[in-house]
Structure 1
Amino acid sequence: MLISSVGVVFSGSGGDLLELAFALSLVAATCTLWVIIAHAVLLGALTAYLASGGSTLAEGGIYGILGIAVIAFLGGVAFRLVAARETILVAERARVAKDLEAIAREHQERIADELHDGIAHDLTLVLFHARALPRQPDEEARQVSLSTIERSAENALGSIQSLLSLMRDTAAEGPPAYPTRYHGNVVAAASSLGTLLKNAGIPTQVSVPSSVLSIAPAAERALTETAIEAVTNIIKHAPKTQSASIELLARTGAVELVVRNASPAGPRTRVPTSGRGLHRARQRLSQCAGLLVAGRTEDGWVFRATVPTAAESAQ
């Protein structure tokens, strides 16, 4: 634009106007709106300048310049529209690919959750009681182990069938279908898990509030899954635990779940583990503004999960 303007002013050449007219196609195709307007205004001003000076443009060349400029402008706009459409299509394709990847990851997480939270929990109980069965001191204890093995095997089979349905139904919509153990009721879960530990020969104290907990369903489900993970880890990694406790505490603005176990000194039971349970428990709690602290104590291990009450979550 600058070079052509200097050429027109100092040489009076119409060739520079032709260059400006042709260049309008590239300007219209690639530049911002203010540059397009500035280019068109400059072209018009220089054309008027030469025409007023008696140049050959006054004898009809001005219309040629105008025609070339219009055609160049329309060609540039057409190219710009095609390029914009292509950009939109590429962006849409990328968005669809990203959505498909997210759906695939969601299904993988759902399958992994079902494997870990459902099947692995039940198989842990089956393995523990199968190992303990030959050493049971009386018939009543043997029947408890046999009943636990049967019930856990049935639950594992149901989880496998649910998992197979989930894998076949790749078009399933909606949020991830987390296992609804104990119907997501953390109070019922604490009582039942305490019984599981007692049946495993681990003296367990269970303390739950008598009043209804004021927490969101998602937070209660996260606490339930955390309790299941804590108890499963006790049975899997510390089957010789001397005592355990499950406490559900309703505090001001929060509900806290505390699972402890006291283990004798010595090496822990070697059971394959992926570390997924703790990671997923923290993820689930964080999604509802909760927190999980887990670690060794002087005589065992402690899980401490906290979630805000429904009133705190609303704020």
Structure 2
Amino acid sequence: MLRSRTFWKQKLLHPVARVLLVLTVGVLLVVEVGFIFAGGEFTRYDLLAIALYAGVAGFAWHPTSAAFIVMLISSVGVMFTGSAGDLLELAIALSLVAATCAPWVIVTHIMLLSALTAYIAATGTALASGGVFGIAGIAVVAFLAGVAFRLVAARETFLVAERARVTEDLEAIARGDRERIADELHDGLAHDLTLILFHARALPLQPDDAARQVSLATIEESAEQALHSIHSLLSLMRDTTIEGPRVHPARYDGNVVEAVSSLGALLRDAGIPTQIAAPLDGLGVSSATGRALTETAIEAVTNIIKHAPKSRSATIDLRNHSDVVELVVKNVAPVAHQGRKGHLGGRGLGRARQRLTQCGGTLEADRTADGWTLRATVPARTESIP
């Protein structure tokens, strides 16, 4: 710490120390005024003493200016009066200089003190025998006291900064936990509840027992998945050591091609004719990229069921090009059933875009003349992202 430039920068005294310094100077001034009245005259020594006390008080606001005022007044006192008292006060003032001023000011103060001490020792009798060593000892003690005060102030600054950093870290952890819980709610529950709501509304309108059985089976399966997601969410809230929330329901834990096939079947069960195109030999992407594509496909299908349940048709196209893997989800719906204006930029698509960006991919989603289109692309070969 002593080698740090920040440690040796000019700094103000601690507010409490400033108050104590001002009070001490005030007491000294009162004592000096008392001596003046007791003596019945105002001498140049009294003027120098008052000016010196005022300079010392200046350390509470402008340490560098105060240091040079003290050095100037002490030099005048030593040179023109030969007073060793001014020399002693200059040595004591080194504690304030060492505690507040920049290194060059400290060095200047020490050099001036040394020069004045040598001058008094060589030309005057103000110093008793061995007085030079006394001044030197007082100066060393004052310097060490100032450095100790600087150390205490630096440690307090460090502790305050560390407390602020810890507070920011805790706030970031809390935000992260809220984001994870929000993702779990959206990714785990919103999809299943959308299916339950859709088939519950469609159940009374189904034309035959087979269609009703499909809706009942979908409602039952989605309810089980929703319950599983709730248990996962409770575990997430109770156990902060979980690495991350489940990003999609358990039935989509397979590869992207299998997920696309299952999602196409969901759309068909919802009464939307759906065409699926996917490679049979896999995609050759990392597991993280596969999860991101699966999430994007889930979000697209969920939006179709939620916002455009009367779609006339839909397509899910998963293609492996030479340099990118492309997922395109489209639906064709009457104008009156193309969904709300705001759903294109919701949380789900925002999170999907973020996941794809982490994998080096992109996501575009917008309306077309007859429906809605989502297009996601990722590099054909990516490294797994931890």
TM-score (norm 2): 0.73
1:172 equivalent in structure 2: 241
Alignment of 1:129-140 (within 5 A): 129-140=199-210
* 1-structure distance, mates of 2:105, 2:261: 74
- Alpha carbons of structure 1 residues 61 and 269: separation in structure 2 relative to 1, 3 Å: same
Q: Structure 1 stretches of 5 or more lacking a match?
A: none
Deviation at 1:53, TM superposition (A): 2.9
Deviation at 1:257, TM superposition (A): 1.3
1:7 equivalent in structure 2: 76
* 1-structure distance, mates of 2:109, 2:204: 93
Deviation at 1:33, TM superposition (A): 3.7
Alignment of 1:1-315 (within 5 A): 1-3=67-69, 4-5=71-72, 6-7=75-76, 10-11=79-80, 12-57=82-127, 59-169=129-239, 171-179=240-248, 181=250, 182-183=252-253, 185-268=255-338, 275-311=346-382
Deviation at 1:244, TM superposition (A): 0.8
* 1-structure distance, mates of 2:346, 2:296: 13
Greater C-alpha Rg? 2
Could you list the per-position Cα deviations for residues 62-96 of structure 1 after superposition, in whole angstroms to 9, with x for gaps in the alignment?
22321221221121122112112212222222222
Residue identity matched to 2:326: E
Aligned residues of 2:284 and 2:380 also touching (Cα < 8 A): yes
Q: Per the alignment, in what secondary structure is the counterpart of residue 68 of structure 1?
A: helix
- Alpha carbons of structure 1 residues 288 and 32: separation in structure 2 relative to 1, 3 Å: farther
Deviation at 1:174, TM superposition (A): 3.1
* 2-structure distance, mates of 1:271, 1:292: 18
Q: Per the alignment, in what secondary structure is the counterpart of residue 56 of structure 1?
A: coil
Q: Per the alignment, in what secondary structure is the counterpart of residue 148 of structure 2?
A: helix
Deviation at 1:40, TM superposition (A): 2.5
Aligned residues of 2:183 and 2:245 also touching (Cα < 8 A): no
Q: Per the alignment, in what secondary structure is the counterpart of residue 285 of structure 2?
A: coil
Residue identity matched to 1:212: G
Aligned residues of 1:125 and 1:152 also touching (Cα < 8 A): yes
Q: Which has the higher contact order (CA 8 A, sep 6+)?
A: 1
- Alpha carbons of structure 1 residues 131 and 176: separation in structure 2 relative to 1, 3 Å: closer
Deviation at 1:108, TM superposition (A): 1.0
Greater displacement, 86-95 / 293-302: 86-95
Residue identity matched to 2:243: G
Q: Calculate the aligned-residue CA RMSD, in Å.
A: 2.6
Q: Tell me how many residue pairs correspond in the alignment.
A: 313
Greater displacement, 239-248 / 278-287: 278-287
Residue identity matched to 2:298: I
Aligned residues of 1:8 and 1:46 also touching (Cα < 8 A): no
Could you list the per-position Cα deviations for residues 131-161 of structure 1 after superposition, in whole angstroms to 9, with x for gaps in the alignment?
1112222222111111111100110011111
Residue identity matched to 1:183: D
TM-score (norm 1): 0.89
Q: Per the alignment, in what secondary structure is the counterpart of residue 363 of structure 2?
A: strand
Residue identity matched to 1:296: R
Aligned residues of 1:110 and 1:178 also touching (Cα < 8 A): no
